[in-house]
Amino acid sequence: MAPTLRVRALLRWLGQHELGSLLAISAVSLGTWVFVEVADAVGEGGTQNLDRKLLLSLRTAGDLSDPIGPGWLEEVGRDLTALGGVAGLCLLTIAVVGHLLLAHKPRAAAFVAASVTGALLLSLGLKRFFNRPRPDLVPHMSEVLTSSFPSGHSMLSAAVYLTLGALLARLQASLVLKAYILLWALFLAFLIGASRVYVGVHWPSDVLAGWAAGASWAALCWLLARALQRRGEVESANHSAPTEPHAPENAPKP
């Protein structure tokens, strides 16, 4: 085999087997480390000054009730933050689970439902544990019911969009399409997290911790799904639904 063909074969093998797992393990490790570091800094009050500066920088000087930018940007901020709400993410998850059930992939559907439910429970548990008060520097542009750390919208949007993005990316043969889907999932999670600071309901450190926790959860779920697929316990992306046998063309008609 020529050297060029050997290199291509090696890259293809890495792309199909080890590279994805290595990236996912790195994402879990990095996300966990970032979350722990941010949580430790928040607990010691080390993020307070930077949090205040960043939050106030998004408000008009002299009128903290007015976010920077034109009126339409405020509406965009509220629209973006709604994309990470529990209701919207649950509806999206139900739609995906329904699609998987109709495609005769019940175990994959159950795995997606369990992944999203686990992310929601983890978010609520972390909020209850840290119990950080919401920002009180500026008026809130969105109703809030839970504590501040970590940002539930940021965590859940990262977990759900990245998990579903990874599921959709596995259906694509092209690396460009895979990257396109995952980059859009990351971009959506970024916009939703940033909107939480813009509407005044989260400190920036809440959002950073939420992104880290959500990305870690999504990568962990990807690794688990891959392992279960290899063992045949969860349907793979190219799993085909059973088809009904066709009668021979020359079969006698009743």
Nearest-angstrom CA–CA distance, 109 and 121: 18
Of residues 99, 104, 140, 202, which has the active-site annotation? Answer: 202
Whole-Å CA distances, 127 to 32, 174, 217: 16, 39, 16
Other CB atoms closer than 10 Å to residue 86's CB: what's the count?
13
Of residues 140, 153, 239, 246, which has the active-site annotation? Answer: 153
The encoded tokens of residue 252 equal 């006698």
Helix (H, G, I), strand (E, B) or coil at 208: helix
Cα-Cα-Cα-Cα torsion 186, 210, 120, 199, nearest 10 degrees, comes to -90
- The yes-or-no answer on residue 104 being catalytic is no
Give 59's strand partners.
67
- Among 126, 142, 100, 140, smallest CA distance to 43 is for 126
Nearest-angstrom CA–CA distance, 242 and 247: 16
Nearest-angstrom CA–CA distance, 152 and 124: 8
- The yes-or-no answer on residue 99 being catalytic is no
**236 and 179 in contact (C-beta within 8 Å)?**
no
How many residues comprise the chain? Answer: 254
| Active-site residue set | 153, 202
